Amino acid sequence: MKKTPLNQVHRELGARMVDFGGWDMPVQYSGVIDEHQAVREAAGLFDVSHMGEIEVSGSNALAFIQHLTINDASTLIDGQVQYSAMCYPTGGVVDDVTLYRFNASRYLFCVNASNTDKDFAWMEQLLADSAMTDVVLTNRSDEFAQMALQGPKAETILSALTDVALADLVYYHFCEGEVAGVKMIISRTGYTGEDGFELYLPASAAVEIWQQLMTSGAPHGLLPIGLGARDTLRLEKGYALYGHELSQEISPLEAGLAWITKLDKDDFVGKAALVALKAVGVPRRRVGLVMQERGIPREGYPLFVGDREVGVVTSGTMSPTLKIGVALALVEPDVAKAETELEVAVRNRRMVAKVARPPFVK
Amino acid sequence: MEFPEELKYTEEHEWVMVEEELAVIGISDFAQDALGDVVFVELPEVGTVLEAGKAFGVVESVKAVSDIYAPISGTVEEINEDLIEAPEIINTSPYEDGWMIKIRMDDASEADKLMDAEAYQALIAEES
Protein backbone atom coordinates (compact mmCIF):
# COMPACT_ATOMS: atom_id res chain seq x y z
CA MET A 1 0.00 0.00 0.00
CA LYS A 2 1.17 3.55 -0.69
CA LYS A 3 1.98 5.76 2.27
CA THR A 4 2.03 9.53 2.63
CA PRO A 5 5.00 11.22 4.37
CA LEU A 6 2.75 11.56 7.45
CA ASN A 7 1.92 7.88 7.83
CA GLN A 8 3.95 7.45 11.03
CA VAL A 9 2.45 10.65 12.50
CA HIS A 10 -1.06 9.26 12.03
CA ARG A 11 -0.11 6.00 13.71
CA GLU A 12 1.42 7.82 16.66
CA LEU A 13 -1.82 9.81 16.99
CA GLY A 14 -3.72 6.53 17.26
CA ALA A 15 -5.60 6.98 14.00
CA ARG A 16 -7.62 4.12 12.60
CA MET A 17 -6.07 3.43 9.19
CA VAL A 18 -7.84 2.12 6.10
CA ASP A 19 -6.99 1.19 2.54
CA PHE A 20 -8.31 4.11 0.51
CA GLY A 21 -7.82 3.40 -3.18
CA GLY A 22 -4.45 1.80 -2.50
CA TRP A 23 -3.35 4.39 0.07
CA ASP A 24 -2.91 3.67 3.78
CA MET A 25 -4.90 6.62 5.15
CA PRO A 26 -6.40 7.72 8.50
CA VAL A 27 -10.19 7.34 8.55
CA GLN A 28 -10.58 8.77 12.04
CA TYR A 29 -8.62 9.92 15.09
CA SER A 30 -10.91 10.98 17.95
CA GLY A 31 -14.16 10.08 16.14
CA VAL A 32 -15.97 11.19 13.00
CA ILE A 33 -18.58 13.37 14.73
CA ASP A 34 -16.05 15.02 17.03
CA GLU A 35 -13.75 15.78 14.10
CA HIS A 36 -16.62 17.01 11.94
CA GLN A 37 -17.72 19.46 14.62
CA ALA A 38 -14.16 20.70 15.13
CA VAL A 39 -13.98 21.73 11.45
CA ARG A 40 -17.39 23.43 11.53
CA GLU A 41 -16.72 25.27 14.80
CA ALA A 42 -12.92 25.68 15.09
CA ALA A 43 -10.46 24.03 12.69
CA GLY A 44 -9.17 20.72 11.42
CA LEU A 45 -5.97 19.54 9.74
CA PHE A 46 -6.19 16.91 7.00
CA ASP A 47 -3.38 14.95 5.37
CA VAL A 48 -4.36 14.95 1.70
CA SER A 49 -0.91 14.06 0.39
CA HIS A 50 -2.45 11.18 -1.54
CA MET A 51 -3.92 13.71 -4.01
CA GLY A 52 -2.09 13.92 -7.32
CA GLU A 53 -0.34 16.98 -8.78
CA ILE A 54 0.29 17.23 -12.51
CA GLU A 55 2.06 20.24 -14.00
CA VAL A 56 1.42 21.52 -17.50
CA SER A 57 3.99 23.96 -18.83
CA GLY A 58 5.12 25.46 -22.10
CA SER A 59 3.91 28.15 -24.46
CA ASN A 60 0.90 26.06 -25.55
CA ALA A 61 -0.09 25.04 -22.01
CA LEU A 62 -3.35 27.01 -22.07
CA ALA A 63 -4.36 25.76 -25.52
CA PHE A 64 -3.82 22.18 -24.36
CA ILE A 65 -5.77 22.73 -21.12
CA GLN A 66 -8.66 24.27 -23.07
CA HIS A 67 -8.75 21.13 -25.21
CA LEU A 68 -8.48 18.85 -22.14
CA THR A 69 -10.96 20.41 -19.71
CA ILE A 70 -14.63 21.43 -19.76
CA ASN A 71 -14.37 24.73 -17.90
CA ASP A 72 -12.94 27.89 -19.51
CA ALA A 73 -9.33 28.14 -18.33
CA SER A 74 -8.78 31.30 -20.39
CA THR A 75 -10.59 33.31 -17.73
CA LEU A 76 -7.96 32.46 -15.09
CA ILE A 77 -5.47 35.06 -13.98
CA ASP A 78 -2.09 34.34 -12.36
CA GLY A 79 -2.66 33.08 -8.83
CA GLN A 80 -6.21 31.93 -9.45
CA VAL A 81 -7.72 28.45 -9.03
CA GLN A 82 -10.54 26.91 -11.03
CA TYR A 83 -12.73 23.87 -10.40
CA SER A 84 -12.95 21.87 -13.61
CA ALA A 85 -13.18 18.37 -15.05
CA MET A 86 -11.84 16.25 -17.87
CA CYS A 87 -14.26 14.25 -20.00
CA TYR A 88 -14.03 11.36 -22.41
CA PRO A 89 -15.36 11.87 -25.94
CA THR A 90 -18.54 10.13 -24.68
CA GLY A 91 -19.13 12.93 -22.16
CA GLY A 92 -18.34 10.67 -19.18
CA VAL A 93 -15.92 12.08 -16.64
CA VAL A 94 -12.22 11.14 -16.45
CA ASP A 95 -11.79 13.12 -13.23
CA ASP A 96 -12.78 16.35 -11.52
CA VAL A 97 -9.84 18.62 -10.80
CA THR A 98 -8.68 21.95 -9.49
CA LEU A 99 -6.50 23.94 -11.85
CA TYR A 100 -3.87 26.44 -10.63
CA ARG A 101 -2.47 29.13 -12.93
CA PHE A 102 1.02 30.34 -12.02
CA ASN A 103 1.50 32.20 -15.30
CA ALA A 104 0.55 31.87 -18.95
CA SER A 105 2.98 29.00 -19.48
CA ARG A 106 2.73 27.14 -16.17
CA TYR A 107 -0.31 25.44 -14.63
CA LEU A 108 -0.81 22.75 -11.99
CA PHE A 109 -3.68 20.27 -11.77
CA CYS A 110 -4.69 18.77 -8.44
CA VAL A 111 -6.40 15.44 -9.19
CA ASN A 112 -8.05 12.65 -7.23
CA ALA A 113 -5.52 10.29 -5.65
CA SER A 114 -6.74 7.04 -7.13
CA ASN A 115 -7.10 8.65 -10.57
CA THR A 116 -3.61 10.15 -10.76
CA ASP A 117 -2.01 7.52 -12.99
CA LYS A 118 -5.10 7.25 -15.20
CA ASP A 119 -5.30 11.05 -15.54
CA PHE A 120 -1.64 11.43 -16.40
CA ALA A 121 -1.85 8.67 -19.03
CA TRP A 122 -4.99 10.33 -20.44
CA MET A 123 -3.24 13.70 -20.69
CA GLU A 124 -0.18 12.18 -22.34
CA GLN A 125 -2.33 10.37 -24.87
CA LEU A 126 -4.37 13.48 -25.70
CA LEU A 127 -1.21 15.49 -26.06
CA ALA A 128 0.31 12.94 -28.43
CA ASP A 129 -2.94 12.78 -30.46
CA SER A 130 -3.21 16.57 -30.63
CA ALA A 131 0.26 17.02 -32.16
CA MET A 132 0.63 20.19 -30.11
CA THR A 133 4.19 21.33 -29.55
CA ASP A 134 5.80 23.00 -26.55
CA VAL A 135 3.55 21.45 -23.93
CA VAL A 136 5.30 19.56 -21.13
CA LEU A 137 3.42 17.28 -18.73
CA THR A 138 5.04 16.38 -15.41
CA ASN A 139 3.56 14.13 -12.76
CA ARG A 140 4.83 15.80 -9.57
CA SER A 141 2.64 13.83 -7.17
CA ASP A 142 5.53 12.23 -5.29
CA GLU A 143 7.29 15.55 -4.72
CA PHE A 144 4.37 17.14 -2.92
CA ALA A 145 2.82 16.62 0.45
CA GLN A 146 -0.57 18.27 0.76
CA MET A 147 -2.45 19.36 3.85
CA ALA A 148 -5.81 21.02 4.22
CA LEU A 149 -6.32 23.41 7.13
CA GLN A 150 -10.06 24.04 7.30
CA GLY A 151 -12.48 25.81 9.59
CA PRO A 152 -13.34 29.27 10.90
CA LYS A 153 -10.04 29.41 12.88
CA ALA A 154 -7.86 28.39 9.92
CA GLU A 155 -6.63 31.90 9.07
CA THR A 156 -5.77 32.67 12.71
CA ILE A 157 -3.80 29.44 13.03
CA LEU A 158 -1.89 29.79 9.76
CA SER A 159 -1.15 33.49 10.20
CA ALA A 160 0.93 32.70 13.30
CA LEU A 161 3.36 30.78 11.07
CA THR A 162 3.61 33.04 8.01
CA ASP A 163 4.18 36.62 6.92
CA VAL A 164 1.91 36.15 3.91
CA ALA A 165 -1.03 38.56 4.06
CA LEU A 166 -3.66 35.84 4.33
CA ALA A 167 -6.51 38.32 4.71
CA ASP A 168 -5.79 39.47 1.13
CA LEU A 169 -5.84 35.93 -0.25
CA VAL A 170 -9.40 35.49 -1.47
CA TYR A 171 -11.35 32.28 -2.08
CA TYR A 172 -10.07 30.20 -5.02
CA HIS A 173 -6.81 32.11 -5.21
CA PHE A 174 -3.31 31.05 -4.16
CA CYS A 175 0.18 32.37 -3.65
CA GLU A 176 3.65 31.02 -3.00
CA GLY A 177 5.04 31.87 0.39
CA GLU A 178 6.81 30.57 3.46
CA VAL A 179 5.09 28.81 6.34
CA ALA A 180 7.40 28.11 9.28
CA GLY A 181 10.34 28.76 6.95
CA VAL A 182 9.22 26.29 4.28
CA LYS A 183 8.31 27.60 0.84
CA MET A 184 4.95 26.26 -0.34
CA ILE A 185 1.79 26.92 -2.31
CA ILE A 186 -0.88 28.44 -0.08
CA SER A 187 -4.30 28.05 -1.66
CA ARG A 188 -7.57 29.39 -0.27
CA THR A 189 -9.59 26.34 -1.25
CA GLY A 190 -11.03 23.25 0.36
CA TYR A 191 -13.59 20.48 0.36
CA THR A 192 -15.43 21.21 3.58
CA GLY A 193 -17.46 24.33 2.80
CA GLU A 194 -15.60 26.19 5.54
CA ASP A 195 -12.98 28.89 5.14
CA GLY A 196 -9.51 27.43 4.94
CA PHE A 197 -6.38 26.59 3.03
CA GLU A 198 -4.79 23.80 1.07
CA LEU A 199 -1.01 23.74 1.36
CA TYR A 200 1.27 22.11 -1.22
CA LEU A 201 4.73 21.58 0.20
CA PRO A 202 7.84 19.46 -0.31
CA ALA A 203 7.21 15.93 0.97
CA SER A 204 10.40 16.15 3.03
CA ALA A 205 8.93 19.02 5.14
CA ALA A 206 5.56 17.39 5.80
CA VAL A 207 6.18 16.11 9.33
CA GLU A 208 7.72 19.39 10.50
CA ILE A 209 4.89 21.53 9.07
CA TRP A 210 2.19 19.21 10.43
CA GLN A 211 3.67 19.48 13.95
CA GLN A 212 4.02 23.27 13.69
CA LEU A 213 0.40 23.64 12.57
CA MET A 214 -0.88 21.33 15.31
CA THR A 215 1.09 23.28 17.92
CA SER A 216 -0.10 26.63 16.59
CA GLY A 217 -3.66 25.37 16.34
CA ALA A 218 -4.05 23.51 19.62
CA PRO A 219 -5.15 26.60 21.63
CA HIS A 220 -7.78 27.26 18.94
CA GLY A 221 -9.26 23.77 19.05
CA LEU A 222 -7.48 22.37 16.00
CA LEU A 223 -7.89 18.60 15.59
CA PRO A 224 -6.45 16.15 13.06
CA ILE A 225 -9.24 15.02 10.72
CA GLY A 226 -9.61 11.69 8.96
CA LEU A 227 -11.31 10.63 5.75
CA GLY A 228 -14.54 9.80 7.61
CA ALA A 229 -15.21 13.42 8.53
CA ARG A 230 -13.85 14.61 5.17
CA ASP A 231 -16.72 12.69 3.61
CA THR A 232 -19.46 13.92 5.99
CA LEU A 233 -18.22 17.51 5.65
CA ARG A 234 -18.33 17.44 1.83
CA LEU A 235 -21.69 15.67 1.80
CA GLU A 236 -23.34 18.29 4.01
CA LYS A 237 -22.27 20.83 1.38
CA GLY A 238 -23.35 18.64 -1.54
CA TYR A 239 -19.91 18.41 -3.17
CA ALA A 240 -19.44 15.64 -5.72
CA LEU A 241 -16.93 12.85 -5.15
CA TYR A 242 -15.44 10.99 -8.08
CA GLY A 243 -16.55 7.36 -8.16
CA HIS A 244 -19.87 8.31 -6.57
CA GLU A 245 -21.51 11.35 -8.20
CA LEU A 246 -19.02 11.41 -11.07
CA SER A 247 -17.66 8.59 -13.20
CA GLN A 248 -16.97 7.43 -16.71
CA GLU A 249 -20.72 6.62 -16.90
CA ILE A 250 -21.96 9.93 -15.46
CA SER A 251 -21.68 13.17 -17.43
CA PRO A 252 -21.07 16.53 -15.77
CA LEU A 253 -24.49 17.73 -16.98
CA GLU A 254 -26.17 14.95 -15.01
CA ALA A 255 -23.87 15.36 -12.02
CA GLY A 256 -24.85 18.96 -11.29
CA LEU A 257 -21.72 20.38 -12.88
CA ALA A 258 -23.39 22.27 -15.73
CA TRP A 259 -21.97 25.41 -14.12
CA ILE A 260 -18.42 24.35 -15.03
CA THR A 261 -19.37 22.87 -18.41
CA LYS A 262 -18.71 25.67 -20.89
CA LEU A 263 -20.43 24.44 -24.03
CA ASP A 264 -19.90 27.79 -25.75
CA LYS A 265 -16.11 27.38 -25.50
CA ASP A 266 -14.09 26.22 -28.56
CA ASP A 267 -13.90 22.50 -29.10
CA PHE A 268 -12.85 20.35 -26.15
CA VAL A 269 -12.86 16.61 -25.51
CA GLY A 270 -16.45 15.53 -24.87
CA LYS A 271 -18.05 18.72 -26.17
CA ALA A 272 -19.95 17.13 -29.04
CA ALA A 273 -21.43 14.45 -26.80
CA LEU A 274 -22.39 16.98 -24.12
CA VAL A 275 -23.99 19.35 -26.62
CA ALA A 276 -26.02 16.44 -28.01
CA LEU A 277 -26.99 15.31 -24.51
CA LYS A 278 -28.14 18.79 -23.60
CA ALA A 279 -30.22 19.01 -26.77
CA VAL A 280 -32.17 15.82 -26.04
CA GLY A 281 -32.25 16.40 -22.29
CA VAL A 282 -30.35 14.50 -19.60
CA PRO A 283 -31.87 11.14 -18.59
CA ARG A 284 -31.18 11.75 -14.88
CA ARG A 285 -30.17 14.51 -12.57
CA ARG A 286 -28.14 14.73 -9.41
CA VAL A 287 -30.23 15.90 -6.47
CA GLY A 288 -29.96 16.18 -2.73
CA LEU A 289 -32.19 14.12 -0.44
CA VAL A 290 -33.17 14.84 3.15
CA MET A 291 -34.70 11.98 5.10
CA GLN A 292 -38.09 12.65 6.62
CA GLU A 293 -37.79 9.59 8.85
CA ARG A 294 -35.08 8.20 11.06
CA GLY A 295 -32.85 6.13 8.79
CA ILE A 296 -29.66 6.62 6.85
CA PRO A 297 -29.57 6.58 3.06
CA ARG A 298 -26.49 4.73 1.78
CA GLU A 299 -24.78 4.47 -1.59
CA GLY A 300 -26.62 2.04 -3.86
CA TYR A 301 -30.01 2.19 -2.12
CA PRO A 302 -32.72 2.42 -4.82
CA LEU A 303 -35.32 5.22 -4.88
CA PHE A 304 -39.00 4.83 -5.64
CA VAL A 305 -42.16 6.77 -6.35
CA GLY A 306 -44.83 4.17 -5.70
CA ASP A 307 -43.77 1.04 -7.59
CA ARG A 308 -41.62 2.92 -10.05
CA GLU A 309 -37.87 2.91 -9.50
CA VAL A 310 -36.72 6.47 -10.17
CA GLY A 311 -33.05 6.50 -9.20
CA VAL A 312 -30.29 5.54 -6.80
CA VAL A 313 -28.37 7.03 -3.88
CA THR A 314 -24.78 7.87 -4.89
CA SER A 315 -23.53 8.99 -1.43
CA GLY A 316 -25.33 9.14 1.90
CA THR A 317 -24.67 9.67 5.57
CA MET A 318 -26.11 10.85 8.82
CA SER A 319 -25.43 14.58 8.87
CA PRO A 320 -23.52 15.28 12.08
CA THR A 321 -24.76 18.90 12.01
CA LEU A 322 -28.45 18.23 11.23
CA LYS A 323 -28.66 14.81 12.95
CA ILE A 324 -30.69 13.43 10.06
CA GLY A 325 -29.89 11.34 7.02
CA VAL A 326 -28.83 13.24 3.89
CA ALA A 327 -27.77 11.97 0.50
CA LEU A 328 -26.82 12.80 -3.04
CA ALA A 329 -28.67 10.78 -5.65
CA LEU A 330 -29.19 10.40 -9.39
CA VAL A 331 -32.90 10.49 -10.28
CA GLU A 332 -35.11 10.76 -13.34
CA PRO A 333 -35.71 14.41 -14.29
CA ASP A 334 -39.45 14.45 -13.53
CA VAL A 335 -38.80 13.74 -9.83
CA ALA A 336 -35.79 16.06 -9.50
CA LYS A 337 -37.73 19.09 -8.32
CA ALA A 338 -37.13 20.35 -4.78
CA GLU A 339 -39.71 19.17 -2.23
CA THR A 340 -40.62 16.08 -4.30
CA GLU A 341 -41.24 13.14 -1.98
CA LEU A 342 -39.44 9.90 -2.81
CA GLU A 343 -39.04 6.64 -0.96
CA VAL A 344 -35.62 5.23 -0.16
CA ALA A 345 -35.45 1.44 0.08
CA VAL A 346 -33.53 1.03 3.33
CA ARG A 347 -32.99 -2.72 3.62
CA ASN A 348 -36.51 -4.22 3.72
CA ARG A 349 -38.32 -0.95 4.37
CA ARG A 350 -39.30 2.18 2.46
CA MET A 351 -38.49 5.51 4.09
CA VAL A 352 -39.64 8.91 2.94
CA ALA A 353 -37.10 11.49 1.76
CA LYS A 354 -37.57 14.89 0.18
CA VAL A 355 -35.61 16.24 -2.73
CA ALA A 356 -33.62 19.29 -1.63
CA ARG A 357 -31.03 21.50 -3.21
CA PRO A 358 -27.63 21.20 -1.47
CA PRO A 359 -25.93 22.55 0.55
CA PHE A 360 -27.84 20.82 3.34
CA VAL A 361 -25.89 22.88 5.87
CA LYS A 362 -25.61 26.55 4.98
CA MET B 1 -11.38 -1.81 26.93
CA GLU B 2 -13.60 -3.71 29.36
CA PHE B 3 -15.04 -7.22 29.21
CA PRO B 4 -17.14 -7.93 32.30
CA GLU B 5 -16.58 -11.43 33.72
CA GLU B 6 -20.27 -12.09 34.34
CA LEU B 7 -21.18 -11.83 30.62
CA LYS B 8 -21.00 -14.32 27.76
CA TYR B 9 -19.76 -13.30 24.29
CA THR B 10 -20.11 -14.33 20.65
CA GLU B 11 -17.74 -14.37 17.70
CA GLU B 12 -19.92 -11.64 16.16
CA HIS B 13 -19.14 -9.42 19.19
CA GLU B 14 -22.49 -9.52 20.96
CA TRP B 15 -22.65 -9.98 24.73
CA VAL B 16 -25.31 -11.86 26.70
CA MET B 17 -26.31 -11.56 30.33
CA VAL B 18 -28.42 -14.48 31.50
CA GLU B 19 -31.08 -13.88 34.18
CA GLU B 20 -32.87 -17.21 34.66
CA GLU B 21 -34.98 -17.72 31.47
CA LEU B 22 -34.23 -14.23 30.20
CA ALA B 23 -31.17 -13.01 28.33
CA VAL B 24 -30.14 -9.39 27.85
CA ILE B 25 -28.18 -8.76 24.64
CA GLY B 26 -25.94 -5.96 23.45
CA ILE B 27 -22.67 -5.41 21.57
CA SER B 28 -19.22 -5.48 23.17
CA ASP B 29 -16.89 -2.62 23.94
CA PHE B 30 -14.66 -3.91 21.15
CA ALA B 31 -17.58 -3.81 18.70
CA GLN B 32 -18.67 -0.27 19.58
CA ASP B 33 -15.09 0.95 19.33
CA ALA B 34 -14.61 -0.70 15.94
CA LEU B 35 -17.86 0.79 14.65
CA GLY B 36 -17.13 4.32 15.77
CA ASP B 37 -19.91 6.82 16.43
CA VAL B 38 -23.19 4.92 16.41
CA VAL B 39 -25.93 7.01 14.79
CA PHE B 40 -28.79 4.58 14.15
CA VAL B 41 -30.16 1.38 15.65
CA GLU B 42 -32.89 -0.82 14.28
CA LEU B 43 -34.36 -3.31 16.78
CA PRO B 44 -37.04 -5.99 16.38
CA GLU B 45 -40.53 -5.59 17.78
CA VAL B 46 -41.51 -7.17 21.07
CA GLY B 47 -42.83 -10.67 20.37
CA THR B 48 -40.46 -11.33 17.46
CA VAL B 49 -39.09 -14.87 17.46
CA LEU B 50 -35.32 -14.96 17.07
CA GLU B 51 -33.21 -17.83 15.84
CA ALA B 52 -29.65 -18.22 17.10
CA GLY B 53 -27.13 -17.05 14.54
CA LYS B 54 -29.66 -15.01 12.50
CA ALA B 55 -29.57 -11.23 12.25
CA PHE B 56 -32.17 -9.51 14.45
CA GLY B 57 -31.24 -5.86 14.09
CA VAL B 58 -28.91 -3.31 12.62
CA VAL B 59 -26.49 -0.84 14.07
CA GLU B 60 -25.12 1.96 11.90
CA SER B 61 -22.14 4.18 12.46
CA VAL B 62 -21.50 7.27 10.37
CA LYS B 63 -19.66 5.14 7.84
CA ALA B 64 -21.00 1.61 8.08
CA VAL B 65 -24.02 -0.64 8.48
CA SER B 66 -23.61 -3.77 10.61
CA ASP B 67 -26.04 -6.58 11.39
CA ILE B 68 -26.52 -7.74 14.96
CA TYR B 69 -26.97 -11.50 15.39
CA ALA B 70 -29.03 -13.40 17.92
CA PRO B 71 -26.63 -15.32 20.18
CA ILE B 72 -29.47 -17.51 21.46
CA SER B 73 -32.93 -18.48 20.15
CA GLY B 74 -35.93 -16.99 21.90
CA THR B 75 -38.72 -14.41 21.86
CA VAL B 76 -38.19 -10.67 22.29
CA GLU B 77 -39.61 -9.53 25.65
CA GLU B 78 -38.39 -5.96 25.75
CA ILE B 79 -36.31 -3.58 23.65
CA ASN B 80 -34.26 -0.59 24.79
CA GLU B 81 -36.38 2.26 23.45
CA ASP B 82 -33.80 4.83 24.63
CA LEU B 83 -31.45 3.73 21.84
CA ILE B 84 -33.89 4.88 19.15
CA GLU B 85 -33.55 8.50 20.27
CA ALA B 86 -29.96 8.28 21.50
CA PRO B 87 -28.03 5.50 19.74
CA GLU B 88 -24.73 6.99 20.93
CA ILE B 89 -25.43 5.38 24.33
CA ILE B 90 -24.01 2.22 22.74
CA ASN B 91 -20.65 3.99 22.53
CA THR B 92 -20.70 5.45 26.01
CA SER B 93 -22.18 2.48 27.89
CA PRO B 94 -22.11 -0.69 25.79
CA TYR B 95 -22.78 -3.09 28.69
CA GLU B 96 -25.28 -1.14 30.78
CA ASP B 97 -27.39 1.69 29.34
CA GLY B 98 -26.55 0.47 25.83
CA TRP B 99 -28.26 -2.94 26.16
CA MET B 100 -30.40 -3.67 23.10
CA ILE B 101 -32.98 -6.37 23.70
CA LYS B 102 -34.19 -8.78 26.36
CA ILE B 103 -35.36 -12.19 25.15
CA ARG B 104 -37.07 -15.18 26.73
CA MET B 105 -34.78 -18.07 25.81
CA ASP B 106 -36.14 -21.24 24.21
CA ASP B 107 -33.36 -23.23 25.83
CA ALA B 108 -31.22 -21.57 28.50
CA SER B 109 -28.47 -24.16 28.00
CA GLU B 110 -27.62 -22.50 24.67
CA ALA B 111 -25.92 -19.79 26.71
CA ASP B 112 -23.39 -22.33 28.00
CA LYS B 113 -21.96 -22.67 24.49
CA LEU B 114 -20.98 -19.01 24.33
CA MET B 115 -17.52 -17.68 25.18
CA ASP B 116 -16.54 -16.40 28.58
CA ALA B 117 -14.68 -13.09 28.92
CA GLU B 118 -11.28 -14.75 28.78
CA ALA B 119 -11.99 -16.71 25.60
CA TYR B 120 -13.51 -13.61 23.97
CA GLN B 121 -10.48 -11.48 24.76
CA ALA B 122 -8.26 -14.14 23.23
CA LEU B 123 -10.42 -14.02 20.10
CA ILE B 124 -10.21 -10.27 19.66
CA ALA B 125 -6.49 -10.30 20.37
CA GLU B 126 -6.24 -12.53 17.30
CA GLU B 127 -8.49 -10.28 15.22
CA SER B 128 -6.81 -6.98 16.04
The tens digit of pLDDT for each residue in A28-68 reads 999 999 999 999 999 999 999 999 999 999 999 999 999 99
Q: What is the pLDDT of residues A216-234, one digit of tens each?
A: 999 999 999 999 999 999 9
Q: Average the pLDDT over A337-359 and give the result.
A: 96
Residues A29, A88, single domain; the answer is: no
Say how far apart CA A98 and CA A148 lie, in whole Å: 14
Which residues from chain A sit within 8 angstroms of residue B58, using beta carbons?
Answer: 347
Residues A89-122 pLDDT 10s: 999 999 999 999 999 999 999 999 999 999 999 9
Tell me if A302 is assigned to some domain: yes
Averaged pLDDT for residues B85-113: 96
Residue A33: the pLDDT is 97
Residue A193, H or E segment: none
* CATH number of the CATH domain containing A350: 2.40.30.110
Are residues A202 and A101 part of one domain?
no
Q: According to the model, what pLDDT value does residue A314 have?
A: 98
Cβ of B67 under 8 Å from any chain A Cβ?
Answer: no
pLDDT band at A76 (very low <50, low <70, confident <90, very high): very high
Question: Which residues in chain A have their CB less than 8 angstroms from residue B84's CB?
Answer: 294
Same domain, A100 and A56: yes
Q: What is the mean pLDDT of chain B?
A: 96
- Compute the nearest-CA separation of A307 from chain B (Å): 24
pLDDT reported for residue A245 = 97
Domain identity same for A60 and A122: yes
* pLDDT tens digits, A251-280: 999 999 999 999 999 999 999 999 999 999
> Based on the domain organization, do A98 and A47 belong to the same domain?
no
Question: Do A228 and B84 lie within an 8 Å CB cutoff?
Answer: no
> Cβ of B37 and A33 within 8 Å?
yes
Share of chain A above pLDDT 90, in %: 99
Calculate how close chain A gets to B41, using CA atoms only, in Å: 9
Q: How far is A298 from chain B (nearest CA, A)?
A: 9
Query: What is the predicted pLDDT for the residue at A348?
Result: 84
- Percent of all residues in chain A with a pLDDT value above 70, rounded to a whole number: 100
CA distances from B67 to A181, A351, B14, B64 (A): 51, 19, 11, 10
* Shortest Cα distance, chain A CAs vs residue B18, angstroms: 31
**Chain A contacts to B (CB-CB under 8 A):** 16, 27-28, 31-34, 228, 231-232, 294-296, 298, 317-318, 320, 347
Contact B1/A at CB under 8 A: no
Q: For A136-154, what is the mean pLDDT?
A: 98
- Taking only the tens place, the pLDDT of each residue in A167-198 is 999 999 999 999 999 999 999 999 999 999 99
- All residues of chain A having their beta carbon less than 8 Å from the beta carbon of residue B40 are 294-296, 318
- Are residues A175 and A218 both part of a single domain? yes
Interface membership of B49 toward A (CB under 8 Å):
no
CB contact under 8 A, A31 and B36: yes
- Please indicate, yes or no, if residue A2 is contained in any of the structural domains: no
Note whether residue A362 is domain-resident. Answer: no
Report the run of H or E that residue A95 belongs to, with start and end.
strand A93-103
Position A131 in a domain? yes
**B93–chain A nearest CA distance, Å:** 16
Split at pLDDT 50, 70, 90, the class of A74 is very high
Phi, psi of A225 (to 5 degrees): -125, 135
Give residue B125's pLDDT. 93
To probe the interface with A, which of B30, B33, B63 has the most A CB atoms within 10 Å? B63
Question: Per-residue confidence at B127, pLDDT binned at 50, 70, 90?
Answer: confident
Taking contacts as CB-CB distances below 8 angstroms, the residues of chain A near B42 are 347
Angle between helices A32-41 and A227-237 (to 10 degrees): 50
- Angle CA A59–A109–A76, to nearest 5: 60
- Identify whether residues A163 and A45 lie together within a single domain: yes
Query: Of chain B residues 12-41, which have a CB less than 8 A from chain A?
Result: 36-37, 39-40
Q: How far is the C-alpha of A8 from the C-alpha of B114, rounded, in Å?
A: 39
CA distances (Å), origin A258, targets A70, A255, A263, A346: 10, 8, 9, 30
Average pLDDT estimate for B7-13:
97
Task: Give the CATH number, domain containing residue A41.
Answer: 3.30.1360.120
Q: Identify the domain containing residue A110 by its residue range.
A: 52-139
- Report the pLDDT value the prediction gives residue B28, as an integer from 0 to 100: 98
pLDDT averaged over every residue in chain A: 97
Contacts across the A-B interface (CB distance below 8 Å)? 36
Q: What pLDDT, on the 0 to 100 scale, is given for residue A75?
A: 98
Tally of structural domains, chain A: 3
Q: Does one domain contain both A180 and A121?
A: no
Instruction: Specify the pLDDT at position A261.
Output: 98
**Do A19 and A91 belong to one domain?**
no
ipTM higher than 0.90?
no
Kindly report the CATH number that applies to the domain delimited by B8-106: 2.40.50.100
Asked if the model's pLDDT at residue A334 lies above 90, the reply is yes
Q: Do A32 and B58 touch (CB under 8 A)?
A: no
From CA A287, how far away is CA A255, in angstroms rounded? 8
pLDDT for B128: 73
Give the pLDDT score at B63: 85
